[in-house]
Each structure stands twice: as structure tokens, then as C-alpha cells.
Amino acid sequence: MNKTVLIADDSRFLRNLIKNLLYEEGFQVFYEASDGTSAVSLYKEKSPDIVLLDLTMPTLNGIDALKKIIDYDPKANVIICSAMGQNRLIVEAINSGAKDFIVKPYFNELVPAVRKLFI
């Protein structure tokens, strides 16, 4: 599967963990951002097939980054991955254009959510 993935999370450990999980599933090209501003810039520069966004990040939170990405590309495939799984955040993310919302630790749900975008 030659799909490109942008992983935006302020934790290098989690970015690496996600990258390893998806690499095992055949994803080969990864872009990484440690904050929301970088995630938006990288999206505009690289046009990845999938974006995995954390909610809590420096400079620009995940919801605001999601809105900027969707404003730029309404067809963007963005999945929010966050430890904060309150209903209002999930509803806001989906209403703002996210394709899915996965609550950390989401490792068993991540691959099926990503695959679902390409079926």
C-alpha cells in the first residue's frame, strides 16, 4: 500500500509507535509533525493520503489544525487520535471534517480506521 501518512503528535515516542504499526501494514512514506502549525504546513507541502492528528499539541491544537487542513482541502482524510475522548470533542472533530476519532490508547483500532478510508 503506497499511501502516505502525516503523523502529528507532540510525543516522539507515540509518533514512532504509530509509524511502526502502520509500517507493518505496508505504509511506507511518513511525514512527522510535533505541533499543529507544522502539521498544516506539511499537509500543504506534501498532500499526504492520511493525517493522524493529536488534539493536544503546541502552537495550534488538533481541532484548529483540522479546520485549517479541511479549509485547504475539504477531501482530506484526517483521523483524530487523542487521549481526550469526551463526547463534545468527538462531535466537534467529526463536525469539523475528521473522518474518525480514536481514543488513546487506540493501537488496536488504528489500523482498521486507516484501512476503512480506502475501502
Using CA atoms, how far apart are residues 63 and 56, in angstroms rounded to an integer? 9
What is residue 50's predicted lDDT score, i.e. its pLDDT? 93
pLDDT tens digits, one per residue of 41-100: 999 999 999 999 998 888 999 999 999 999 999 999 999 888 766 788 888 999 999 999
Could you write out the DSSP letters of every residue in 62-84? HHHHHHHHHHH-TT--EEEEES-
The domain defined by 4-116 carries CATH number 3.10.450.50? no
What is residue 106's predicted lDDT score, i.e. its pLDDT? 62
Lookup result for grid cell 499526504: 48
Which residues, in sequence order, are bridge partners of residue 65?
none
More confident of the two residues 111 and 9: 9
Q: Where are the domains of the chain?
A: 4-116
Of the listed ranges 13-22, 33-42, 71-80, the least confidently predicted one is 13-22
